[in-house]
Structure 1
Amino acid sequence: MAGTLPASEAAAAAPQRVTVDLAASEGPVMRGANGTLYGLSDDGVPSDAALAPLKITSISQKPEGGAQHPNGDALTVSRSFFRNGGGEINVMMQDVYAKWPYEDLGIDDYLPRVDKIVKEVAADPNSERFVYIPFNEPDQIWYGLGTSDQAQYEANRDRFFKDWKTVYRRIRAADPDARIAGPNESAYHTRLLTDFLAFAQRENVLPQVMTWHELGSGSLRDFQGHHDTYRSIERGLGIAPLKINIDEYANRRDLSVPGQLAQWVAMFERNKVYANQAYWDAAGNLDGNVVRSNIPNGGWWFFRWYAGLTGDTVRVTPPRANAIDTLQGLASYDTQRRQAQVLLGGSAGDSDVVVRNVSRSVFGGTVTATVAEAAWSGYEGRHAAPRVLARTKVQVAADGSVSVPLRGMHKMSAYRIVLTPGGSGTPATPVVPWTGSYEAEDAAITGGQVYTQGTVDNANGYAASGTKDVGSLNTAASKVDFTVTVPKTGTYDLAVLYGNQSGTPATQKLSVDNRDTVTVTYPSTENWTYRAKKDLAVELTAGTHVLTLGKGDAEVTLDRVDLTARTSAEPSASYEATLADLDGKPSFDYSSSAGVGTGALVLRAGDQAVFDVYAPRDGYFTVVPQASAAVRLGLHGETVTAAPGQPLRLYLVAGNNRLRVTAQQSAIRSLDVSGAGSTAGTLSYEGASATLAGGARLVDSTYASAGSYIGDLGNSASSTAEFTVDAPKAGRHVLVVHYAHNDRRDNGHAYNTDIMSRTADITVGGAAPVRATFKNTWGWHDYWTLSVPVELEKGSNKVTFANASGWAPDIDRIELGRIVG
């Protein structure tokens, strides 16, 4: 099953059917649809741990020093992109200009800018991994190629073609091996592409990469036709198939939403084209899929699943092809790993996934089917490791098929099905807690207003659960009463999807049945509809209750609340070894399906498995390798030996942590992680304890943890903050900086929020300074954390923050935790 479906989403119809044919290969998994436009803003934003697992094939960024945005420079972000396994970088050359649409100063003004961009890119040691995009949306900008007046179109077209030829040859003159992409229309135009390809072929200025944009909801219906028509134009002209990059796709209502992303990714991967999600809001969060700098949301987990597909993709037949907002999917089949994976989403209700041609020589007579859900958690709502909903052994039918039922699917969620050989034994039944979801628009509203968001007709509206939220809760009497019914007495985790554009942390009053009122504090968000998630706990007796969220000190927008029964004292998750990222040549052992895990991964010398482990906060967690022999765990630059089945106390940072596992010889089934992030044994120092110099000062603030923070730090070589840290033991530690800043630049863009990062040089003892990048926190009084691994000596250590060339962030406090606790 897929979970409990609210009555408002229940489908009365018979289950939809999705068919997967393992015998119908579409070619090797390409992962082309995981790209982003301005998904990286700085070296370190997003973090390496958030970036590396996604195996991103292409990104689009501005030229170095381009005026269009304050950050996202291609050469700057290339450092983190390439060290984390990134593919190639599209350079949006016209983003050298400041205005949107670009100021049209003529081709003679543009050419010297082109020369500078090419010179800088060509000199980069990774120049072969850059692609030049000379023009952006020429159908709308500078050239007006979308006009319906044929005579005007031809005049505009000829001017564009002349400039294309000029710029193309200018690029090639400076960089003979340059790869050039275009024409890069804002939407697909058969008329223009037919003329363009004929011209480019005739004049020997054919792009190496064909680009255009697919942004509206209609693309989910029309892209296949666009693709097929384009390929027919190529064939008609005798042009060998060019690489295609849909370098802007999807709209606000799609980004961060696993169920929407599944539809887009399925059609791009099926056609083996590359594609980059569009940049509608803030740079540096992979277009809405990373919270802060290192924390996954539901969209991140969907792309992590996508990155985990191996082998070939195979044909998936959905209930309706080429339709808007329907159940769609993609699947992979790896005979070497003996795995089949199916990713799907986009529809509520029930479905049956029928996998055909399940080879008995690969899987045996039974398979273990593992089903997990990646839910929508908002653009800025953290999402723990996807919950496993079912793990069952299924008999392969006489016709070679396996049927996996999904019941109570949620429209905004994506689902993953993994098939592995059944082996002997019985898989452990996952614990699936009771959960209930309650839409704010369906609750009793006082002093507020229901708004419609992110529909098919308003695709550039922000995503909202049920396409509605409740805002304008701005009077003293404003409140929303949620009537909830829970099955038993106990502790329930309450998740509130909200927006807070007040500029500071905002509060509401939470009460249960008009009693036990507590204050809920919501960190700032980009705007009222850029959804985040607040997690807290409530005690409820079995039966019906009214949960009230009433106005506190500022306005907050409410979308939905979720209640989940707490099943254990501490959260826990098991990460299957056979689904980890692998290096070397480990083997797979599916002889037993008993317990947790989809089999065992056999590691030998030279092999490595990398697990992506989620932590809800910075602190200590219990990590247990379920292995047959000792393994070595690598974390934050520290390596420790772990005995099989024995717990380790390790310091994890908030969000994603990459744990590397090696062994001389060991069969590992899973890495089990539990805990809430204990701070026992950590070192903590308030800003007031630091020695300040050169203008850095202590500033009073009710929002800071101890009533003050370090401000005016940096912007000169003499401005520093020095903490004295007393370490009981020497060794590798994680330095956690609690910081805030809200630097941004307003270019007058219609939609982009040009937030800026700050940096600080951190020096520990006599070690070389380490430059850390601190993303904008949406408010001057919203404190986030950034973690930096450091080495401490036993006893006194000096930890100094500085920035000689710019402002450092405001610092509330620091914490340090030894990696092995």
Structure 2
Amino acid sequence: MITPARTRSRTRTALITALLGAAAMAGTLPAAGPSAAAGPSRLTVDLDASEGPVMLGANGSLYGLSDDGVPSNAAMEPLKITSVSQKPEGGAQHPNGDALTVSKSFFRNGGGEINVMMQDIYAKWPYEDLGIDDYLPKVDKIVKEVSADPNSDRFVYIPFNEPDQIWYKLGVEDQAQYEKNRDRFFKDWKTVYQRIRAIDPDARIAGPNEAAYHTRLLKDFLAFAKRENVLPQVMTWHELGSGSLRDFQAHYDDYRSLEREAGIAPLKINIDEYANRRDLSVPGQLVQWVSMFERNKVYANMAYWDAAGNLSGHVVRSNIPNGGWWLFRWYAGLTGNTVKVTPPQPDSIDTLQGLASLDTSRRQAQVLLGGSSGDSDVVVRNVPRSVFGRTVTATVAEAAWSGYEGQHAAPRVLARTKTQVADDGSVTVPLRGLHKMSAYRIVLTPGGSGTPAAASVPWSASYEAEEAAVTDGKVYTQGTVQNANGYAASGTQDVGSLNQPGSKVAFTVSVPKDGTYDLAILYGNQSGGPATQKLIVDGGDPVTVTYPSTENWTYRAKKDVTVQLKAGQHQVVLSKGDAEVTLDRIDLTTRTGAPAASYEATLADISGKPSYDYSSSAGVGTGALVLRSGDKAVFDVYAPRDGYYTVVPRSSAAVKLSLHGETVPAAPERPLRLYLVAGNNRIAMTSGHAAVRSLDVSGDGSTAGTLSYDGASAELTGGATLVDSPHASAGSYIGRLGDSASSTAGFTVNAPRSGRYLLVVHYAHNDRRDNGHAYNTDIMSRTADVTVGKAAPRKVTFKNTWSWDDYWTVGVPVDLAKGANKVTFGNAGAWAPNIDRIELGRVVG
């Protein structure tokens, strides 16, 4: 048996107490490994060294969108995405992600521009080389379609993808062969460039778009393109390997020097594929990438290694945030100017890196950091007294790694403390026991009067599966620098091959007191359906744990269960059930009641011209956002499941809250019962005049008062039929729905009163197309036309659920009249998803 002393456990047994300035921080983050003994590293932020306005260029994604609704509006809008890369309409490379189709949801949610990967018109990978004469008619079709779009000015054409490897082989070492290949590429570049401009004279064109940075090619390309008047408007190349964390700055500096030598004004740069599998979804890894791109003010899109429609691995299902999503939400919250950050080891792989901003109008400085474990002192220099005064409040929060498919609640505030600015104008925030896979945010605001409420951080500990006692299983290494295309794993290892009758992993854990604990299990399930394990605590009766499907064994998800434990040491065993499941890590956290979070108004998205009042630091929140007529604040509120939650505005006067198309008046400090969908919910707040400190949300997602109808209660027509299934909630689901105008499922729902409701559809499907890629699952979405009463049908998109027996939910706002209402599902032209059941809850409960 492995003792706790040998496990890589991490405990949050003490709070971070931010005693800043010249004082040290009392308390710790979770205990760190040996690196902590070397003394704290130092990350320095200089608020007086502006790098220019926050650009948010590094939040893009290749095939981040697959359909209108995947990802959801609420998952996409908060990230303020500046660019995405998608295939041309009807492109055969993948089954979805067509640029014009997804542009509607992208632009609707504030998206910037769309790069059209023109060669993705082809089906094979690498692209079949049928010659330029075959390609040109395809170019014509693409440009005609894009240029006819009302938003054509927001598209960028990328004529070639990775020409250093595909079609032209520009990366060859032999100089004579290189020149021959180069000249053929240049000839084709000029032909395609001029063809695009002939159809769309205002077209913006990007290239050359190599798979890696090539000084030789770019020097030649710039000279040729300038001479022939075919210079791209956007310069693109890819940075995909771990080495880019070390080399990108040199690549960027070299490219800018090539421009200067060629007499070319600086072009916009888009690194339109960046990072690898081990980076995606991991906040600590992503900070390293984002910081170097934002510092250099370049745009960048994360790579497409797996499934389309999840913003490169940062949206769970369609609407649920993981840890990586929260990092990009923080990034989107930076305002004002970025300022210089000096990390302990600049341009080094897997080291502590960061980015920071200063907004003098909001009187806020923010620092995002991550990438290493151990201890660090964050030193913020030149804190302007004209903006912050003589004291500041520092708020520290953590976004942890929760897996690619693992839900992550709103990041927990670890500390909120007021302190004086030192005589030299600096503030030091000591951070102890940083987690390598986590990202951290520090927010500095003026101190004001009073004492901030101490952050409440429950006890928590983590235990790695590879360091537990493993029986009939195997430890695998994942996601290292040497295997950057491997999937991320906590501690770079997990336990798989748990496929024997006696397979099990036994964890020895220790908890500080008697009580209820939340047990989070990071797992993978590629069995093709729901899989089970047996959970046994201290040799007691086994409890069945059911794991939904994941893309593969290492595409990590998170299962939450609860256990009752007494103070002291325990053995927690997970043993094989009906199918194989891989295990990465377990987290134990003291349950202190229903989940609750306070969303600070001073950090909300705003429109209009609200003001910021930091005169008081007392209580929750670092100050107040003052709303007047015409102002709006939008909060991103997490819900662990569909259901009712208690929502309380901490405001000085009445406000109005808008959610799911419903607007409701809210009195200060008075609770409202509102229906939230699983994942992210955008709640807008307005007021004639109110000072708002926070929006507080609590609850487990009550279904009391909701209406529920299983598939058997629906009236089925055409070929739609009821299918028996042990995985459906009532033992059957509606299958063979759609593919004909006559095939429908109609539910009669009885509303106790009229108003706006959330229709929650429990569904499953596993459509996909195999294009023969070595990666990219090419999963497909299904749609259904939903008709309520006599209203017009609404097309709703349902993402692939990874198996036919795993049921996910999609929430659709609908208006119901008091009494009987008919809710009908159908799809005249294609199959709709299988439907298990529906629920309806009035937005205001």
TM more than 0.5 = yes
Distance of 2:726 and 2:788 partners within structure 1? 30
Q: What's the counterpart of residue 546 of structure 1?
A: 571
Matches for 1:164-179 after TM superposition, within 5 Å: 164-179=189-204
1:516 CA drift (Å): 3.2
Q: What's the counterpart of residue 118 of structure 1?
A: 143
1:394 CA drift (Å): 1.5
Q: Among residues 139, 161, 166, which one is paired with 1:136 in the alignment?
A: 161
1:761 aligns with 2:785: yes
Q: What's the counterpart of residue 749 of structure 1?
A: 773
Distance of 1:469 and 1:71 partners within structure 2? 32
1:12 CA drift (Å): 1.3
Q: What's the counterpart of residue 671 of structure 2?
A: 647
Distance of 2:718 and 2:142 partners within structure 1? 38
1:388 aligns with 2:410: no
Note the residue ranges of structure 2 that are not aligned, 5 or more in a row. Answer: 1-14, 17-27
Helix, strand or coil for the counterpart of 2:742? coil
Residue identity in the other structure for 1:807: W
Matches for 1:43-192 after TM superposition, within 5 Å: 43-192=68-217
Q: Among residues 786, 799, 802, which one is paired with 1:775 in the alignment?
A: 799
Residue identity in the other structure for 1:302: L
Distance of 2:514 and 2:375 partners within structure 1? 30
1:290 aligns with 2:309: no
Distance of 2:640 and 2:29 partners within structure 1? 24
1:76-131 per-residue CA deviation (whole Å, 9 max, x = no partner) reads 00000000000000000000000000000000000000000000000000000000
Distance of 1:451 and 1:248 partners within structure 2? 28
Distance of 1:571 and 1:67 partners within structure 2? 45
Contact 2:32 2:373 in 1 (8 A): no
Q: What's the counterpart of residue 611 of structure 1?
A: 635
Q: What's the counterpart of residue 195 of structure 1?
A: 220
Distance of 2:35 and 2:405 partners within structure 1? 27
Structure 1 range deviating more: 12-21 or 120-129? 12-21
Q: What's the counterpart of residue 507 of structure 1?
A: 532
Note the residue ranges of structure 1 that are not aligned, 5 or more in a row. Answer: none
Q: What's the counterpart of residue 363 of structure 1?
A: 388
1:172-216 per-residue CA deviation (whole Å, 9 max, x = no partner) reads 000000000000000000000000000000000000000000000
1:490-542 per-residue CA deviation (whole Å, 9 max, x = no partner) reads 01100000000000000000011111320000000000000000001000000
Distance of 1:486 and 1:409 partners within structure 2? 21
1:333-357 per-residue CA deviation (whole Å, 9 max, x = no partner) reads 0000000000000000110100001
Q: What's the counterpart of residue 698 of structure 2?
A: 674
Equivalent pairs, count: 820
1:400 aligns with 2:436: no
Residue identity in the other structure for 1:26: E
Distance 1:157 1:806, change over 3 A: same
Helix, strand or coil for the counterpart of 1:302? helix
Q: Among residues 592, 596, 599, which one is paired with 1:572 in the alignment?
A: 596
1:6 CA drift (Å): 5.1
Matches for 1:794-813 after TM superposition, within 5 Å: 794-813=818-837
1:40 CA drift (Å): 0.2
Distance of 1:552 and 1:328 partners within structure 2? 42
Q: What's the counterpart of residue 228 of structure 1?
A: 253
1:428 aligns with 2:428: no
Helix, strand or coil for the counterpart of 1:33? helix
Q: What's the counterpart of residue 704 of structure 1?
A: 728
Contact 1:6 1:436 in 2 (8 A): no
Distance of 1:4 and 1:774 partners within structure 2? 40
Distance of 2:121 and 2:66 partners within structure 1? 16
Residue identity in the other structure for 2:156: V
TM-score (norm 1): 0.99
Q: What's the counterpart of residue 26 of structure 1?
A: 51
Q: Among residues 616, 620, 625, which one is paired with 1:596 in the alignment?
A: 620
1:566 CA drift (Å): 1.1
1:625 CA drift (Å): 0.1
Q: Among residues 685, 689, 692, which one is paired with 1:665 in the alignment?
A: 689
Matches for 1:239-258 after TM superposition, within 5 Å: 239-258=264-283
1:362 CA drift (Å): 0.5
1:766-804 per-residue CA deviation (whole Å, 9 max, x = no partner) reads 001110000000000000000000000000000000000
Contact 1:9 1:348 in 2 (8 A): no
Runs of 4+ in 1 over 6 A off after TM superposition: none
1:9 CA drift (Å): 6.5
Q: What's the counterpart of residue 814 of structure 1?
A: 838
1:11 CA drift (Å): 2.1
Helix, strand or coil for the counterpart of 1:124? coil
1:725-750 per-residue CA deviation (whole Å, 9 max, x = no partner) reads 01101000000000000000000001
1:4 CA drift (Å): 4.2
Matches for 1:294-333 after TM superposition, within 5 Å: 294-333=319-358
Distance of 1:144 and 1:12 partners within structure 2? 49
Contact 1:445 1:481 in 2 (8 A): yes
1:358 CA drift (Å): 0.5
Residue identity in the other structure for 1:782: D
Distance of 2:542 and 2:624 partners within structure 1? 49
1:42-68 per-residue CA deviation (whole Å, 9 max, x = no partner) reads 001000000000000000000000000
1:313 CA drift (Å): 0.1
Contact 1:338 1:420 in 2 (8 A): yes
Q: What's the counterpart of residue 758 of structure 2?
A: 734
TM-score (norm 2): 0.97
The RMSD of aligned alpha carbons is 0.7
1:303-350 per-residue CA deviation (whole Å, 9 max, x = no partner) reads 000000000000000000000000000000000000000000000011
Helix, strand or coil for the counterpart of 1:251? coil
Residue identity in the other structure for 1:528: W
1:7 CA drift (Å): 5.4
1:13 CA drift (Å): 1.0
Distance of 2:133 and 2:296 partners within structure 1? 39
Distance of 1:70 and 1:191 partners within structure 2? 36
Residue identity in the other structure for 1:819: V
1:38 CA drift (Å): 0.2
Distance of 1:456 and 1:250 partners within structure 2? 12
Contact 1:6 1:437 in 2 (8 A): no
Contact 2:47 2:358 in 1 (8 A): yes
1:5 CA drift (Å): 3.0
Distance of 1:5 and 1:276 partners within structure 2? 33
